[in-house]
Amino acid sequence: MEKISSENLKALESRYNIALINSLSGFKPIVLIGTRNNDGLENLAIFNSLTHIGANPPLLAIVSRPNSVDRHTIENIRDTGIFSINHVSEHFYKKAHQTSARYDRSQSEFEFCQIDKEYKDNDSVPFVKGSLLQIEMKLEQIIPIELNDTLLCLGSVQNIYVKKEFLGTDGFIDLEKMNLVCGSGLDSYYSPKLIARLPYAKP
């Protein structure tokens, strides 16, 4: 095995270092976060940091970098207290990737990336039309991570939108049947194929 030490890391060229460290967290979920600010300006941004925090109460989190394009998302979430999670399928992953470009505040990624939007009961948050798993989230808490000036944005699940054909009788949602993608690094997209569902493990 090749050993890359923290001393080696410090000496690496910046882009190489970013690609390497971004590979270390393995395969990641790919979602689009939809938001709107109090002036009605919409934003849509790709995130690969969605994390399950707990089932009861139902909590999910994303990590935001205040100095990146993510910042419009977190500003809007602070404004309205609400955001949408829209899972990305193979049929629109290229458009989803395009939302990572640095658009101005006044430019809606829905328009510039040609992604259709829809509103549901709550008119403060746009969803991605055609996303097969959409979740309306309520902001619960933003925890600053001072080590690198990022933010952990915690939300609670309000409404889940999913077609019946993807929802199992045991509550399991069939992400593969939806053709959801996962990612690695900053630029790679994958189609996961089921190996197996395993029974609950006992000693």
* Residue 5 or 40 with smaller CB distance to its own copies: 5
Nearest approach, Cβ of residue 142 and its own copies (Å):
12
Nearer residue to its own copies within complex by CB, 38 or 87: 87
Residue with smaller CB distance to its own copies, 21 or 38:
21
* CA proximity to 186, closest of 25, 13, 10: 25
Q: Which residue lies nearer to its own copies by CB, 22 or 80?
A: 22
Tokens standing for residue 102 = 């640095």
Sign of CA dihedral 3, 7, 11, 13: positive
CA–CA distance, 169 with 149 (Å, rounded to integer): 42
Q: Report how far residue 144's alpha carbon sits from residue 154's, in angstroms, rounded to the nearest whole number.
A: 11
Q: Each residue of 161-182: b (16+ CB within 10 Å) or e?
A: ebeeebeeeeeebebeebebbb
Give min distance, CB of 174 to its own copies, in A.
Answer: 9
Q: Which is nearer to its own copies, 38 or 178 (CB)?
A: 178
Let me know if 155 is exposed, middle or buried by CB neighbors in 10 A (0-12, 13-18, 19+).
buried
* Beta-carbon count within 10 A of 14 CB: 7
